[in-house]
Chains A and B, each alone.
Chain A
Amino acid sequence: MSEGVIQSDQPAVRDAAGEDLFSKFDGIIRTREDLLAGGVEDPFNLVMEQVLSPTRAICNGRDTILLGTYNYMGMTFDPDVIAAGQKALAEFGSGTTGSRVLNGTYQGHREVEEALREFYGMDHAMVFSTGYQANLGIISTIAGKGDYVVLDIDSHASIWDGCSLGNAEIVPFKHNDIDAMEKRLRRIPDGAGKLVVLEGVYSMLGDVAPLREMVAVAKAHGAMVLVDEAHSMGFIGPNGRGVAEDQGAIEDVDFIIGTFSKSVGTVGGFCVSNHPKFEILRLVCRPYVFTASLPPSVVATAATSIRKLMSGGEKRARLWENSKRLHGGLKGLGFTLGTDVPQSAIVAVIMPDLERGAAMWEALLREGLYVNLARPPATPANMTLLRCSLCAEHSEEEVGTILGMFERAGKTVGII
Protein backbone atom coordinates (compact mmCIF):
# COMPACT_ATOMS: atom_id res chain seq x y z
CA MET A 1 0.00 0.00 0.00
CA SER A 2 1.04 3.52 0.54
CA GLU A 3 4.61 3.25 1.80
CA GLY A 4 5.47 5.92 -0.69
CA VAL A 5 2.79 8.40 0.31
CA ILE A 6 3.00 10.79 3.16
CA GLN A 7 4.85 9.40 6.14
CA SER A 8 3.35 9.61 9.60
CA ASP A 9 3.58 13.01 11.16
CA GLN A 10 6.81 13.86 12.88
CA PRO A 11 6.94 16.02 16.01
CA ALA A 12 7.70 19.57 14.95
CA VAL A 13 9.95 20.26 17.91
CA ARG A 14 12.94 18.03 18.49
CA ASP A 15 15.41 17.84 21.30
CA ALA A 16 18.52 19.53 19.95
CA ALA A 17 20.89 17.35 21.99
CA GLY A 18 22.29 14.45 19.99
CA GLU A 19 20.33 15.42 16.92
CA ASP A 20 21.64 14.34 13.53
CA LEU A 21 20.30 12.95 10.26
CA PHE A 22 19.09 9.82 12.06
CA SER A 23 16.83 11.77 14.43
CA LYS A 24 14.01 11.39 11.93
CA PHE A 25 13.97 7.64 12.70
CA ASP A 26 13.54 8.10 16.47
CA GLY A 27 9.80 7.42 16.33
CA ILE A 28 10.18 4.08 14.59
CA ILE A 29 13.16 3.12 16.77
CA ARG A 30 11.01 3.70 19.86
CA THR A 31 8.03 1.72 18.52
CA ARG A 32 10.35 -1.18 17.74
CA GLU A 33 12.05 -1.09 21.13
CA ASP A 34 8.69 -1.01 22.92
CA LEU A 35 7.52 -4.01 20.93
CA LEU A 36 10.65 -6.07 21.60
CA ALA A 37 10.74 -5.02 25.28
CA GLY A 38 7.56 -7.07 25.69
CA GLY A 39 9.69 -10.16 25.02
CA VAL A 40 8.38 -10.79 21.50
CA GLU A 41 10.68 -12.43 18.97
CA ASP A 42 11.60 -9.83 16.38
CA PRO A 43 9.10 -10.28 13.52
CA PHE A 44 11.46 -8.53 11.10
CA ASN A 45 14.61 -10.48 11.95
CA LEU A 46 13.63 -14.08 11.32
CA VAL A 47 16.30 -16.42 9.99
CA MET A 48 15.56 -19.60 8.06
CA GLU A 49 18.49 -21.85 8.94
CA GLN A 50 17.36 -24.59 6.56
CA VAL A 51 14.72 -24.69 3.86
CA LEU A 52 13.29 -28.18 3.56
CA SER A 53 10.70 -27.63 0.80
CA PRO A 54 8.48 -24.85 -0.58
CA THR A 55 6.31 -25.24 2.53
CA ARG A 56 8.75 -26.20 5.31
CA ALA A 57 11.84 -24.63 6.90
CA ILE A 58 13.80 -24.55 10.13
CA CYS A 59 13.12 -21.01 11.42
CA ASN A 60 14.88 -19.73 14.55
CA GLY A 61 15.63 -23.40 15.36
CA ARG A 62 12.04 -24.69 14.89
CA ASP A 63 10.52 -26.95 12.23
CA THR A 64 8.06 -24.50 10.68
CA ILE A 65 5.27 -24.58 8.11
CA LEU A 66 5.72 -21.65 5.72
CA LEU A 67 2.55 -19.67 5.11
CA GLY A 68 3.97 -16.33 4.09
CA THR A 69 6.38 -16.77 1.21
CA TYR A 70 4.41 -15.89 -1.98
CA ASN A 71 5.83 -19.16 -3.31
CA TYR A 72 2.35 -19.78 -4.73
CA MET A 73 3.17 -22.56 -7.17
CA GLY A 74 5.94 -24.18 -5.15
CA MET A 75 8.44 -23.99 -8.02
CA THR A 76 11.53 -23.35 -5.85
CA PHE A 77 12.34 -27.06 -5.47
CA ASP A 78 11.06 -28.27 -8.84
CA PRO A 79 13.71 -30.73 -10.11
CA ASP A 80 13.64 -29.39 -13.70
CA VAL A 81 13.99 -25.82 -12.48
CA ILE A 82 16.94 -26.70 -10.25
CA ALA A 83 18.63 -28.73 -13.01
CA ALA A 84 18.30 -25.81 -15.45
CA GLY A 85 19.89 -23.46 -12.91
CA GLN A 86 22.75 -25.86 -12.18
CA LYS A 87 23.47 -26.33 -15.87
CA ALA A 88 23.53 -22.57 -16.52
CA LEU A 89 25.70 -21.98 -13.47
CA ALA A 90 28.24 -24.51 -14.74
CA GLU A 91 28.15 -23.36 -18.37
CA PHE A 92 27.79 -19.56 -18.05
CA GLY A 93 29.29 -18.85 -14.63
CA SER A 94 27.99 -17.29 -11.46
CA GLY A 95 27.15 -13.80 -12.74
CA THR A 96 27.18 -11.48 -15.72
CA THR A 97 28.97 -8.52 -14.12
CA GLY A 98 27.24 -6.30 -16.64
CA SER A 99 24.26 -4.20 -17.64
CA ARG A 100 21.67 -5.66 -19.99
CA VAL A 101 22.66 -3.09 -22.64
CA LEU A 102 26.40 -3.77 -22.43
CA ASN A 103 27.87 -7.16 -21.52
CA GLY A 104 24.96 -8.41 -19.41
CA THR A 105 22.67 -9.99 -21.99
CA TYR A 106 23.40 -13.71 -22.34
CA GLN A 107 21.54 -16.36 -24.27
CA GLY A 108 19.54 -17.10 -21.10
CA HIS A 109 18.19 -13.55 -20.87
CA ARG A 110 16.93 -13.83 -24.42
CA GLU A 111 15.40 -17.22 -23.66
CA VAL A 112 13.52 -16.04 -20.59
CA GLU A 113 12.14 -13.09 -22.54
CA GLU A 114 11.03 -15.52 -25.22
CA ALA A 115 9.30 -17.64 -22.55
CA LEU A 116 7.49 -14.54 -21.25
CA ARG A 117 6.32 -13.52 -24.72
CA GLU A 118 4.85 -16.99 -25.17
CA PHE A 119 3.35 -17.10 -21.70
CA TYR A 120 1.52 -13.79 -22.17
CA GLY A 121 1.00 -14.02 -25.94
CA MET A 122 2.55 -10.55 -26.31
CA ASP A 123 5.07 -9.09 -28.75
CA HIS A 124 7.63 -7.72 -26.30
CA ALA A 125 9.15 -8.69 -22.97
CA MET A 126 11.81 -6.87 -21.00
CA VAL A 127 13.46 -8.48 -17.98
CA PHE A 128 14.66 -6.41 -15.03
CA SER A 129 16.77 -7.48 -12.07
CA THR A 130 13.77 -7.30 -9.69
CA GLY A 131 10.04 -6.66 -9.87
CA TYR A 132 10.62 -3.49 -7.86
CA GLN A 133 12.92 -2.19 -10.59
CA ALA A 134 10.41 -3.11 -13.31
CA ASN A 135 7.79 -0.78 -11.79
CA LEU A 136 10.40 1.82 -10.92
CA GLY A 137 11.78 1.83 -14.46
CA ILE A 138 8.66 1.59 -16.58
CA ILE A 139 6.55 4.13 -14.67
CA SER A 140 9.29 6.73 -14.26
CA THR A 141 10.33 6.42 -17.90
CA ILE A 142 7.03 6.45 -19.79
CA ALA A 143 5.31 9.15 -17.71
CA GLY A 144 7.32 12.34 -18.08
CA LYS A 145 6.98 16.01 -17.23
CA GLY A 146 3.45 17.27 -17.94
CA ASP A 147 2.00 13.74 -18.08
CA TYR A 148 -0.35 12.39 -15.41
CA VAL A 149 -0.12 9.11 -13.50
CA VAL A 150 -3.48 8.11 -12.02
CA LEU A 151 -3.06 5.31 -9.48
CA ASP A 152 -4.82 3.42 -6.71
CA ILE A 153 -3.95 4.77 -3.26
CA ASP A 154 -3.14 1.22 -2.06
CA SER A 155 -0.48 0.70 -4.73
CA HIS A 156 2.72 -1.16 -3.86
CA ALA A 157 5.81 0.79 -2.78
CA SER A 158 7.54 0.05 -6.08
CA ILE A 159 4.73 1.86 -7.94
CA TRP A 160 4.93 4.87 -5.62
CA ASP A 161 8.69 4.94 -5.96
CA GLY A 162 8.35 4.79 -9.75
CA CYS A 163 6.14 7.88 -9.46
CA SER A 164 8.69 9.63 -7.22
CA LEU A 165 11.55 8.87 -9.58
CA GLY A 166 9.73 10.39 -12.57
CA ASN A 167 8.54 13.91 -13.26
CA ALA A 168 4.85 13.33 -13.98
CA GLU A 169 1.92 14.73 -11.99
CA ILE A 170 0.79 12.05 -9.53
CA VAL A 171 -2.94 11.65 -8.86
CA PRO A 172 -4.09 8.90 -6.49
CA PHE A 173 -7.67 7.72 -6.09
CA LYS A 174 -9.49 5.72 -3.40
CA HIS A 175 -8.81 1.98 -3.47
CA ASN A 176 -10.72 0.13 -6.20
CA ASP A 177 -13.13 3.08 -6.58
CA ILE A 178 -14.08 3.23 -10.27
CA ASP A 179 -16.00 6.47 -9.89
CA ALA A 180 -13.14 8.24 -8.09
CA MET A 181 -10.75 7.10 -10.84
CA GLU A 182 -13.11 8.29 -13.59
CA LYS A 183 -13.50 11.74 -12.00
CA ARG A 184 -9.74 12.26 -11.85
CA LEU A 185 -9.25 11.16 -15.44
CA ARG A 186 -12.00 13.52 -16.55
CA ARG A 187 -10.32 16.50 -14.87
CA ILE A 188 -6.91 16.04 -16.49
CA PRO A 189 -6.21 18.93 -18.89
CA ASP A 190 -6.68 18.23 -22.60
CA GLY A 191 -3.60 17.08 -24.39
CA ALA A 192 -1.75 15.74 -21.33
CA GLY A 193 -0.46 12.15 -21.50
CA LYS A 194 -2.21 9.78 -19.10
CA LEU A 195 -1.06 6.53 -17.48
CA VAL A 196 -3.39 4.56 -15.23
CA VAL A 197 -1.59 2.19 -12.86
CA LEU A 198 -3.51 -0.69 -11.29
CA GLU A 199 -2.78 -4.02 -9.64
CA GLY A 200 -4.53 -7.33 -10.28
CA VAL A 201 -4.31 -8.57 -6.70
CA TYR A 202 -3.53 -6.10 -3.90
CA SER A 203 -1.11 -7.92 -1.66
CA MET A 204 -2.08 -6.54 1.73
CA LEU A 205 -5.69 -7.76 1.85
CA GLY A 206 -5.51 -10.18 -1.07
CA ASP A 207 -8.41 -8.46 -2.83
CA VAL A 208 -8.80 -8.25 -6.59
CA ALA A 209 -9.38 -5.08 -8.67
CA PRO A 210 -12.47 -4.63 -10.89
CA LEU A 211 -10.13 -4.47 -13.88
CA ARG A 212 -12.73 -4.97 -16.58
CA GLU A 213 -14.55 -1.78 -15.60
CA MET A 214 -11.45 0.20 -14.67
CA VAL A 215 -9.55 -0.62 -17.85
CA ALA A 216 -12.60 0.31 -19.94
CA VAL A 217 -12.93 3.68 -18.16
CA ALA A 218 -9.21 4.37 -18.57
CA LYS A 219 -9.39 3.58 -22.29
CA ALA A 220 -12.50 5.77 -22.73
CA HIS A 221 -10.40 8.66 -21.41
CA GLY A 222 -7.51 7.93 -23.73
CA ALA A 223 -5.15 6.69 -21.02
CA MET A 224 -2.54 3.97 -21.29
CA VAL A 225 -2.97 1.22 -18.72
CA LEU A 226 -0.32 -0.58 -16.70
CA VAL A 227 -1.35 -3.51 -14.50
CA ASP A 228 0.92 -5.10 -11.92
CA GLU A 229 0.08 -8.82 -11.86
CA ALA A 230 2.80 -9.85 -9.39
CA HIS A 231 0.39 -11.75 -7.13
CA SER A 232 -1.70 -13.45 -9.81
CA MET A 233 0.78 -14.84 -12.34
CA GLY A 234 0.55 -18.57 -12.83
CA PHE A 235 -2.81 -19.23 -11.22
CA ILE A 236 -5.43 -16.54 -12.00
CA GLY A 237 -6.92 -16.44 -15.51
CA PRO A 238 -7.42 -19.28 -18.03
CA ASN A 239 -3.68 -19.22 -18.92
CA GLY A 240 -2.43 -17.92 -15.60
CA ARG A 241 -1.80 -14.48 -17.09
CA GLY A 242 -3.53 -12.75 -14.21
CA VAL A 243 -6.63 -10.88 -13.17
CA ALA A 244 -6.81 -8.85 -16.41
CA GLU A 245 -7.01 -12.09 -18.36
CA ASP A 246 -9.51 -13.59 -15.92
CA GLN A 247 -11.85 -10.60 -16.37
CA GLY A 248 -11.41 -10.44 -20.14
CA ALA A 249 -9.58 -7.11 -20.06
CA ILE A 250 -6.05 -8.14 -21.03
CA GLU A 251 -6.41 -7.02 -24.67
CA ASP A 252 -6.77 -3.41 -23.51
CA VAL A 253 -3.88 -3.48 -21.06
CA ASP A 254 -0.82 -1.73 -22.49
CA PHE A 255 1.75 -2.98 -19.99
CA ILE A 256 1.78 -5.91 -17.60
CA ILE A 257 4.37 -5.84 -14.84
CA GLY A 258 5.34 -9.06 -13.13
CA THR A 259 7.94 -10.73 -11.00
CA PHE A 260 9.94 -13.95 -10.88
CA SER A 261 10.01 -13.86 -7.08
CA LYS A 262 6.54 -15.25 -6.46
CA SER A 263 4.95 -18.00 -8.60
CA VAL A 264 8.08 -18.33 -10.78
CA GLY A 265 10.15 -19.05 -7.67
CA THR A 266 13.39 -17.12 -8.17
CA VAL A 267 14.12 -13.38 -8.46
CA GLY A 268 13.69 -10.82 -11.25
CA GLY A 269 11.01 -8.61 -12.75
CA PHE A 270 9.54 -7.94 -16.16
CA CYS A 271 7.26 -5.88 -18.33
CA VAL A 272 5.36 -7.36 -21.32
CA SER A 273 3.60 -5.25 -23.93
CA ASN A 274 2.36 -5.09 -27.51
CA HIS A 275 3.38 -1.47 -27.98
CA PRO A 276 5.19 -1.17 -31.34
CA LYS A 277 7.89 1.13 -29.92
CA PHE A 278 8.40 -0.87 -26.72
CA GLU A 279 11.99 -1.96 -27.44
CA ILE A 280 13.29 1.62 -27.18
CA LEU A 281 12.79 1.35 -23.43
CA ARG A 282 15.93 -0.79 -23.30
CA LEU A 283 17.95 2.35 -24.06
CA VAL A 284 16.07 4.99 -22.06
CA CYS A 285 14.93 3.20 -18.90
CA ARG A 286 17.53 3.94 -16.24
CA PRO A 287 16.68 1.17 -13.73
CA TYR A 288 17.20 -1.24 -16.65
CA VAL A 289 20.39 0.30 -18.03
CA PHE A 290 22.31 1.27 -14.92
CA THR A 291 22.31 -1.99 -12.99
CA ALA A 292 23.73 -5.48 -13.44
CA SER A 293 21.60 -8.11 -15.14
CA LEU A 294 20.36 -11.28 -13.48
CA PRO A 295 22.84 -14.18 -13.09
CA PRO A 296 22.63 -16.91 -15.78
CA SER A 297 21.38 -19.52 -13.28
CA VAL A 298 18.50 -17.24 -12.29
CA VAL A 299 17.26 -16.59 -15.82
CA ALA A 300 17.59 -20.30 -16.65
CA THR A 301 15.49 -21.30 -13.62
CA ALA A 302 12.96 -18.58 -14.47
CA ALA A 303 12.59 -19.66 -18.10
CA THR A 304 12.12 -23.30 -17.10
CA SER A 305 9.63 -22.40 -14.39
CA ILE A 306 7.58 -20.09 -16.65
CA ARG A 307 7.28 -22.82 -19.28
CA LYS A 308 6.13 -25.30 -16.64
CA LEU A 309 3.56 -22.79 -15.33
CA MET A 310 1.93 -22.79 -18.78
CA SER A 311 0.72 -26.31 -18.03
CA GLY A 312 0.27 -25.98 -14.28
CA GLY A 313 -3.48 -26.62 -14.25
CA GLU A 314 -3.42 -29.28 -11.56
CA LYS A 315 -1.29 -27.16 -9.22
CA ARG A 316 -3.58 -24.17 -9.78
CA ALA A 317 -6.60 -26.22 -8.77
CA ARG A 318 -4.81 -27.36 -5.59
CA LEU A 319 -3.82 -23.79 -4.74
CA TRP A 320 -7.42 -22.59 -5.05
CA GLU A 321 -8.61 -25.50 -2.90
CA ASN A 322 -6.06 -24.55 -0.23
CA SER A 323 -7.03 -20.89 -0.35
CA LYS A 324 -10.74 -21.68 0.01
CA ARG A 325 -10.12 -24.16 2.82
CA LEU A 326 -7.93 -21.79 4.84
CA HIS A 327 -10.24 -18.81 4.27
CA GLY A 328 -13.35 -20.76 5.24
CA GLY A 329 -11.62 -22.35 8.25
CA LEU A 330 -10.30 -19.08 9.66
CA LYS A 331 -13.67 -17.40 9.16
CA GLY A 332 -15.33 -20.32 10.95
CA LEU A 333 -12.95 -19.89 13.89
CA GLY A 334 -14.10 -16.29 14.23
CA PHE A 335 -11.15 -14.39 12.78
CA THR A 336 -11.75 -11.16 10.83
CA LEU A 337 -10.41 -11.51 7.29
CA GLY A 338 -9.42 -8.98 4.62
CA THR A 339 -11.99 -10.27 2.11
CA ASP A 340 -15.42 -11.88 2.55
CA VAL A 341 -14.62 -14.60 0.06
CA PRO A 342 -11.21 -15.89 -1.04
CA GLN A 343 -10.18 -13.80 -4.08
CA SER A 344 -6.53 -14.86 -4.40
CA ALA A 345 -3.90 -17.01 -2.68
CA ILE A 346 -3.48 -14.34 0.00
CA VAL A 347 -5.63 -14.57 3.11
CA ALA A 348 -5.17 -11.55 5.39
CA VAL A 349 -6.18 -11.90 9.04
CA ILE A 350 -6.96 -8.51 10.58
CA MET A 351 -5.53 -7.98 14.06
CA PRO A 352 -7.09 -5.62 16.61
CA ASP A 353 -3.80 -3.71 17.12
CA LEU A 354 -0.03 -4.00 16.67
CA GLU A 355 0.60 -5.37 20.18
CA ARG A 356 -1.83 -8.27 19.85
CA GLY A 357 -0.81 -8.73 16.21
CA ALA A 358 2.81 -9.18 17.25
CA ALA A 359 1.79 -11.49 20.12
CA MET A 360 -0.30 -13.57 17.73
CA TRP A 361 2.55 -13.68 15.20
CA GLU A 362 4.88 -14.97 17.90
CA ALA A 363 2.38 -17.49 19.25
CA LEU A 364 2.02 -18.89 15.72
CA LEU A 365 5.79 -19.06 15.31
CA ARG A 366 6.02 -21.03 18.56
CA GLU A 367 3.35 -23.36 17.20
CA GLY A 368 5.58 -23.83 14.15
CA LEU A 369 3.86 -21.56 11.63
CA TYR A 370 5.35 -18.64 9.73
CA VAL A 371 3.06 -15.88 8.43
CA ASN A 372 3.86 -12.24 7.52
CA LEU A 373 3.24 -9.56 10.10
CA ALA A 374 2.25 -6.42 8.18
CA ARG A 375 1.91 -3.13 10.01
CA PRO A 376 1.43 0.56 9.30
CA PRO A 377 2.49 2.44 7.25
CA ALA A 378 2.69 -0.49 4.79
CA THR A 379 -0.96 -1.43 5.36
CA PRO A 380 -4.26 0.15 4.26
CA ALA A 381 -6.16 2.13 6.90
CA ASN A 382 -3.33 1.63 9.43
CA MET A 383 -4.33 -1.99 10.03
CA THR A 384 -2.11 -4.66 11.55
CA LEU A 385 -2.39 -7.83 9.49
CA LEU A 386 -1.23 -11.41 9.65
CA ARG A 387 -0.85 -12.16 6.01
CA CYS A 388 -1.02 -15.76 4.89
CA SER A 389 -0.02 -16.77 1.38
CA LEU A 390 -0.75 -20.30 0.29
CA CYS A 391 1.25 -22.66 -1.84
CA ALA A 392 -0.02 -25.32 -4.22
CA GLU A 393 2.28 -27.71 -2.34
CA HIS A 394 0.55 -27.27 1.02
CA SER A 395 -1.20 -30.58 1.63
CA GLU A 396 -4.80 -30.81 2.78
CA GLU A 397 -3.46 -32.16 6.07
CA GLU A 398 -1.11 -29.18 6.46
CA VAL A 399 -3.97 -26.73 5.99
CA GLY A 400 -5.80 -28.60 8.75
CA THR A 401 -2.73 -28.36 10.98
CA ILE A 402 -2.47 -24.63 10.22
CA LEU A 403 -6.09 -24.07 11.29
CA GLY A 404 -5.41 -25.87 14.57
CA MET A 405 -2.40 -23.63 15.19
CA PHE A 406 -4.47 -20.50 14.51
CA GLU A 407 -7.18 -21.71 16.89
CA ARG A 408 -4.75 -22.34 19.77
CA ALA A 409 -2.74 -19.15 19.19
CA GLY A 410 -5.90 -17.05 18.78
CA LYS A 411 -7.31 -18.31 22.08
CA THR A 412 -3.99 -17.82 23.90
CA VAL A 413 -3.73 -14.22 22.73
CA GLY A 414 -7.43 -13.61 23.28
CA ILE A 415 -8.37 -12.65 19.73
CA ILE A 416 -11.04 -15.32 19.25
Chain B
Amino acid sequence: MDRAEVDSRIRALIEPFNKKNLEIADGTTFAGDLEFDSLTVMDFVAAIEDEFDIIISMNQQAEIENYGELVSAVCGLVEK
Protein backbone atom coordinates (compact mmCIF):
# COMPACT_ATOMS: atom_id res chain seq x y z
CA MET B 1 0.00 0.00 0.00
CA ASP B 2 1.57 3.32 -1.01
CA ARG B 3 1.52 6.54 0.96
CA ALA B 4 -1.12 8.10 -1.30
CA GLU B 5 -3.56 5.28 -0.61
CA VAL B 6 -2.92 5.34 3.16
CA ASP B 7 -3.38 9.12 3.05
CA SER B 8 -6.70 8.96 1.21
CA ARG B 9 -8.10 6.25 3.48
CA ILE B 10 -7.14 8.17 6.65
CA ARG B 11 -8.55 11.37 5.12
CA ALA B 12 -11.91 9.62 4.77
CA LEU B 13 -11.75 8.34 8.34
CA ILE B 14 -10.93 11.71 9.85
CA GLU B 15 -13.96 13.44 8.39
CA PRO B 16 -16.51 12.68 11.14
CA PHE B 17 -13.91 13.79 13.73
CA ASN B 18 -13.05 17.03 11.91
CA LYS B 19 -15.76 19.06 13.63
CA LYS B 20 -14.27 22.40 12.59
CA ASN B 21 -14.05 21.34 8.91
CA LEU B 22 -10.40 22.27 8.78
CA GLU B 23 -8.36 21.81 5.63
CA ILE B 24 -6.15 18.85 6.59
CA ALA B 25 -2.47 19.29 5.74
CA ASP B 26 0.56 17.27 6.84
CA GLY B 27 1.27 19.88 9.50
CA THR B 28 -2.26 19.85 10.99
CA THR B 29 -1.98 18.91 14.67
CA PHE B 30 -4.53 16.75 16.48
CA ALA B 31 -4.38 18.42 19.87
CA GLY B 32 -3.86 22.01 18.74
CA ASP B 33 -5.62 22.45 15.38
CA LEU B 34 -8.27 19.74 15.49
CA GLU B 35 -8.78 20.05 19.28
CA PHE B 36 -9.09 16.30 19.80
CA ASP B 37 -9.66 15.36 23.44
CA SER B 38 -8.63 11.97 24.82
CA LEU B 39 -11.98 10.36 24.00
CA THR B 40 -11.85 11.54 20.39
CA VAL B 41 -8.29 10.27 20.11
CA MET B 42 -9.40 6.84 21.32
CA ASP B 43 -12.26 6.60 18.82
CA PHE B 44 -10.17 7.95 15.95
CA VAL B 45 -7.27 5.61 16.66
CA ALA B 46 -9.67 2.65 16.90
CA ALA B 47 -11.13 3.56 13.50
CA ILE B 48 -7.68 3.62 11.90
CA GLU B 49 -6.63 0.39 13.60
CA ASP B 50 -9.73 -1.37 12.29
CA GLU B 51 -9.32 0.05 8.78
CA PHE B 52 -5.72 -1.15 8.42
CA ASP B 53 -5.85 -4.09 10.86
CA ILE B 54 -2.94 -2.70 12.88
CA ILE B 55 -2.16 -1.66 16.45
CA ILE B 56 -1.02 1.87 17.18
CA SER B 57 0.12 1.53 20.80
CA MET B 58 -0.05 4.51 23.15
CA ASN B 59 3.75 4.59 23.07
CA GLN B 60 3.56 5.17 19.30
CA GLN B 61 0.66 7.62 19.64
CA ALA B 62 2.79 9.76 21.94
CA GLU B 63 5.19 10.35 19.03
CA ILE B 64 2.44 11.43 16.64
CA GLU B 65 1.45 15.08 16.81
CA ASN B 66 0.33 15.96 13.30
CA TYR B 67 -1.41 14.40 10.32
CA GLY B 68 1.76 13.79 8.28
CA GLU B 69 3.35 11.89 11.18
CA LEU B 70 0.23 9.74 11.48
CA VAL B 71 0.29 8.82 7.78
CA SER B 72 3.99 7.93 8.04
CA ALA B 73 3.41 5.82 11.15
CA VAL B 74 0.52 3.92 9.54
CA CYS B 75 2.59 3.36 6.36
CA GLY B 76 5.32 1.84 8.54
CA LEU B 77 2.88 -0.39 10.41
CA VAL B 78 1.11 -1.59 7.26
CA GLU B 79 4.43 -2.61 5.68
CA LYS B 80 5.35 -4.89 8.61
Contacts and interface: CB of A to CB of B under 8 A. Distances in A.
Q: Do A and B bind each other?
A: yes
Contacts of A171: 55, 57-58
Contact of A170 (B37, B54, B57): B57
B32 A12 contact: yes
Interface string B17-44: 0000000000000011001111101100
B8 interface: no
Those 6 A-B pairs whose CB atoms lie nearest each other, nearest first: A169-B57, A170-B58, A6-B38, A187-B55, A9-B31, A5-B38
Contacts of A183: 49-50
B65 to A, nearest CB: 11
A187 B46 contact: no
Interface string B43-67: 0001001100111011110000000
Contacts of A174: 42, 46
A356 B48 CA distance: 37
A377 B41 CA distance: 14
Contacts of B36: 9
Contacts of B49: 183-184, 187
B37 A187 contact: no
27 contacts: A5-B38, A5-B58, A6-B31, A6-B37, A6-B38, A8-B37, A8-B38, A9-B31, A9-B35, A9-B36, A12-B32, A148-B55, A148-B57, A153-B42, A169-B59, A170-B57, A170-B59, A172-B58, A174-B42, A174-B46, A183-B49, A187-B49, A187-B53, A187-B54, A381-B39, A382-B37, A382-B39
A6 B35 CA distance: 13
Given A169-B57, A183-B50, A382-B37, 5 more contacts: A8-B37, A9-B36, A170-B57, A173-B46, A377-B38
B69 to A, nearest CB: 16
Contacts of A173: 46
A293 interface: no
Most buried by B among A5, A6, A188: A6
A55 interface: no
Contacts of B42: 5, 153, 172, 174
Contacts of A172: 42, 58
B74 to A, nearest CB: 13
Contacts of A170: 57-59
Nearest to B80: A189
A288 B10 CA distance: 44
A9 B36 CA distance: 8
Contacts of B37: 6, 8-9, 382
Interface of B: 31-32, 35-39, 41-42, 46, 49-50, 53-55, 57-60, 80
Contacts of A180: 46
A7 B37 CA distance: 8
Nearest to B77: A187
Band of interface residues on A: 20 to 34
A323 interface: no
Nearest to B59: A169
A163 B62 CA distance: 14
A171 B56 CA distance: 8
A69 B41 CA distance: 33
A187 B57 CA distance: 11
Nearest to A163: B58
A2 interface: yes
A189 B58 CA distance: 16
Nearest to B36: A9
Given A9-B31, A184-B55, A2 B38 contact: yes
Contacts of A12: 32
A154 to B, nearest CB: 10
A11 to B, nearest CB: 9
Interface string A121-156: 000000000000000000000000000100001000
A9 B35 CA distance: 7
B41 A6 contact: yes
Contacts of B53: 187
Interface string A155-192: 00000000100000111111000001001100111000
A96 B59 CA distance: 38
B52 to A, nearest CB: 10
Nearest to B57: A169
A187 B46 CA distance: 12
A188 B38 contact: no
A187 B60 CA distance: 15
Nearest to B38: A6
Interface in A228-249: none
A169 B59 CA distance: 6
